[in-house]
Amino acid sequence: MEPGREKDMQKAITEKVTVMDGDIPLQGILERPTAASSPLVVVLHGFTSSRERPHTLAACQAMWQAGFATLRFDLYGHGESGGTFQSHTLHKWISNTLAVLAYAQTLDFVTEIWLSGHSQGGLTAALAAGEQAACVKGLILRAPAFMIPQCAREGAMLGVSFDPVNIPAEFPTIKGLRLAGDYIRSAQSIRVEPAMEAFPGPVLLLYGEADDVVPRRDVEMAARHYRNCSLVQLPGETHHFDRAPEQMQAAIRSWLLEQRA
């Protein structure tokens, strides 16, 4: 860690923010160093998660230590934000992210905007960055769930099989929750490779070698499609980076410091 970085992190200014995406309120936490200006990372959580998950907070800590502000927020149907879990879709999450990116551009202390996400949030970050490549400086993707659109097209998702042509009105998912069929329809329409190829900035891909959710082949595919990508595979780490989060933190911190050099 660079001298003074930990001190800056401890002095971070924290405030709650609300961003509107149409009539949906998105609740976030903005944390920034006391410096007059800094880069900002917009941080997205994953499926059934929230901005308060320990691995998300650990990732943000590494970003602060590298001198970056963070804006982590709850997406549609999750945490404290509006909408219901059952009715959330990838397109709604992309719309949420674009709304937050627009808000971030109004913050006068921000020198540049980066985007990060975990799992379904990692997929969302990649898709949003493909649309807003001129706005997003770089990406930090933790176990991005690039397989979701293909799973939707094949009719198998989250351990549930379904007819991908005759999509059910709703279907069960993890933790006893249910999703509307629009989730599948939305996912089926998405192609991830064009979004990757449209993004010219630096990308950090983090993958736990004990991840039992995201296939290794998907992150390796992404590393080939991005123009400027660093793939870091963490030994023994899980999908949620909860066995040795310091490995993830060290990778994020060192990579971000390299980008600022």
The larger pLDDT score, comparing residue 57 to residue 34, is at 57
pLDDT of residue 35: 85
pLDDT of residue 34: 86
pLDDT of residue 52: 97
Sketch the domain layout of the chain as residue ranges.
5-146+192-260
Mean per-residue pLDDT, 177-184: 96
Say how far apart CA 59 and CA 52 lie, in whole Å. Answer: 11
pLDDT of residue 165: 96
Mean per-residue pLDDT, 191-204: 97
pLDDT of residue 5: 43
Q: What is the mean pLDDT of the chain?
A: 94
Domain boundaries 5-146+192-260, CATH class: alpha beta
pLDDT of residue 81: 98
- With 90 as the cut, is the pLDDT of residue 9 above it? no
pTM of structure: 0.95
The pLDDT tens digits of the residues spanning 118-176 come to 999 999 999 999 999 999 999 999 999 999 999 999 999 888 899 999 999 999 999 99
Q: What is the dihedral of CA 56, 74, 196, 234, to 10 degrees?
A: 10
